[in-house]
């Protein structure tokens, strides 16, 4: 018998959903949240599409609480691996204080919010990242306009990313464009925002979480390539520069000639590349691995690239 009286009802764990098109800055935001969360127990669920899940490797989770959902799209395949993932999280002791789901860059974050209705959980906010450099082109582009517009409409809060890469006028212009394009949804620049605030957003859009809201999205072609040789930075940078426009995204972990003992992380989003040190290798397999993602209907373009890059880079499954 305890003197405290009746037990408190068990509290529920908020499920916050993070969406936004390929390369919008979702994983970067998760890493910022994890870096700031001192001692808070946050479980991250990452959903890359296809059999490719490089993102899980890019998340810097100190306690290893990152779960991968690599087979299938979390928004399309509502019965796929997700029930097992939610049960796994529910069984964790001590219980997490927050679940953060990164939806794949082609996925619709709206319906994913409904996982917050799972027993023991509650819905958090749906946050959608909008890359100020590319969002308008994508939303007007021939390939992914519907996917991007649907993602924006699903948000409880829109976060402007990469405002450091453009001038204040462009940030303002994108903000104004969003206000008219998806009216009623608050828009905030991510820079300077305390990430803790983002985990405390009340869900406001029950409509977008309904299964009817889900819009099937076109398939993006992907290629996972590995390279056993050391990679020369300049030569690889030039390869990325020469990619056809339909290859919308590249990300990977490289073993470079100048830093073979450490991982080098490379990203390309549209024409922009970024390179950073990824720390020491964690496994014994130190081969370079990248994923290339092409816009819907561009499978042949991607196949040409794969042929062109062989035999230095070879496709794996």
Residues that bind Zn ion (CB under 5 A): 73, 75-76, 107
Which DSSP letter does residue 286 get? -
Q: How far is the CB of 36 from ligand GDP (least distance, A)?
A: 15
Q: What residue number has its CB nearest to Zn ion?
A: 73
201 in contact with ligand GDP (CB under 6 A): no
159 membership: H or E segment, kind and range: strand 157-161
Q: What does DSSP say about strands 262-269 and 247-254: parallel, antiparallel, or unpaired?
A: antiparallel
* Cβ distance to ligand GDP smaller for residue 28 or 215: 28
Q: How far is the CB of 186 from ligand GDP (least distance, A)?
A: 18
Q: Which of 35, 51, 92, 165 binds ligand GDP (CB under 6 A)?
A: 165
How is the beta sheet containing 13-19 ordered, strand by strand?
Answer: 66-68, 42-46, 98-102, 13-19, 121-131, 157-161, 187-189
Nearest-angstrom CA–CA distance, 58 and 293: 17
217 in contact with ligand GDP (CB under 6 A): no
Nearest-angstrom CA–CA distance, 290 and 124: 32
Q: How many chain residues touch ligand GDP (CB under 6 A)?
A: 16
104 in contact with ligand GDP (CB under 6 A): no
Strand partners, 250: 268, 292
Nearest-angstrom CA–CA distance, 305 and 307: 5
Q: Is 123 helix (H, G, I), strand (E, B) or coil?
A: strand
Q: How far is the CB of 206 from ligand GDP (least distance, A)?
A: 25
109 in contact with ligand GDP (CB under 6 A): no
* Cβ distance to ligand GDP smaller for residue 121 or 250: 250
269 in contact with ligand GDP (CB under 6 A): yes
* Cβ distance to Mg ion smaller for residue 108 or 118: 108
Which DSSP letter does residue 231 get? B
Which DSSP letter does residue 251 get? E
| Core vs surface per residue 214-246: b (16+ CB within 10 A) or e | bbebeebbbbbbebeeebeeeebeebbeebeeb
CB 175 within 8 A of CB 160: yes
Applying CB under 6 A, which part among 162-170, 175-183, 281-289, 301-309 lies near ligand GDP?
Answer: 162-170
* Cβ distance to ligand GDP smaller for residue 15 or 44: 44
CB 49 within 8 A of CB 73: yes
* Cβ distance to ligand GDP smaller for residue 148 or 269: 269
Q: Which residues bind Mg ion (CB under 5 A)?
A: 26-27, 55
* Cβ distance to ligand GDP smaller for residue 82 or 106: 106
Q: How far is the CB of 268 from Zn ion (least distance, A)?
A: 23
Nearest-angstrom CA–CA distance, 72 and 287: 25
* Cβ distance to Mg ion smaller for residue 27 or 171: 27
* Cβ distance to Zn ion smaller for residue 75 or 128: 75
4 membership: H or E segment, kind and range: none
Q: How far is the CB of 150 from ligand GDP (least distance, A)?
A: 16
23 in contact with ligand GDP (CB under 6 A): yes
Q: Which residues bind ligand GDP (CB under 6 A)?
A: 20, 22-28, 105, 161-162, 164-165, 267, 269, 274
């Amino acid at each position: 018998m305890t003197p405290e009286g009746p037990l408190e009802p068990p509290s529920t764990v908020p499920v916050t959903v993070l969406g936004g098109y390929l390369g919008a800055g979702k994983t970067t935001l998760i890493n910022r949240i994890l870096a700031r969360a001192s001692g808070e127990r946050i479980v991250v669920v990452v959903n890359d599409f296809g059999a490719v899940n490089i993102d899980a490797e890019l998340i810097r989770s100190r306690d290893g609480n990152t779960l991968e959902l690599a087979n299938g799209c979390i928004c399309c395949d509502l019965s796929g691996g997700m029930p097992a993932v939610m049960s796994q999280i529910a069984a964790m002791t001590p219980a997490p204080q927050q679940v953060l789901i990164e939806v794949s860059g082609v996925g619709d974050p709206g319906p994913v919010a409904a996982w917050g209705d799972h027993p023991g959980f509650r819905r958090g906010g749906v946050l959608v990242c909008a890359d100020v450099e590319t969002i308008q082109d994508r939303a007007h582009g021939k390939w992914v306009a519907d996917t991007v517009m649907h993602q924006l409409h699903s948000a409880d809060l829109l976060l402007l990313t990469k405002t450091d890469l453009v001038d204040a006028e462009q940030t303002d212009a994108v903000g104004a464009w969003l206000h008219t394009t998806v009216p009623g949804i608050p828009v905030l620049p991510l820079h300077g925002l305390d990430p803790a605030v983002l985990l405390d957003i009340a869900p406001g859009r029950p409509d977008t979480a309904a299964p009817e809201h889900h819009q099937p999205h076109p398939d993006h072609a992907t290629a996972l390539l590995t390279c056993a040789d050391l990679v020369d930075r300049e030569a690889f940078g030039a390869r990325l520069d020469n990619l056809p426009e339909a290859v919308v995204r590249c990300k990977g972990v490289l073993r470079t000639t100048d830093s073979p003992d450490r991982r080098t992380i490379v990203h390309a989003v549209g024409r922009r590349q970024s390179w950073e040190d990824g720390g020491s290798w964690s496994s014994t397999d130190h081969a370079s691995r990248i994923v290339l993602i092409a816009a819907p209907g561009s499978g042949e373009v991607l196949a040409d690239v794969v042929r062109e890059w062989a035999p230095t880079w070879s496709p794996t499954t």
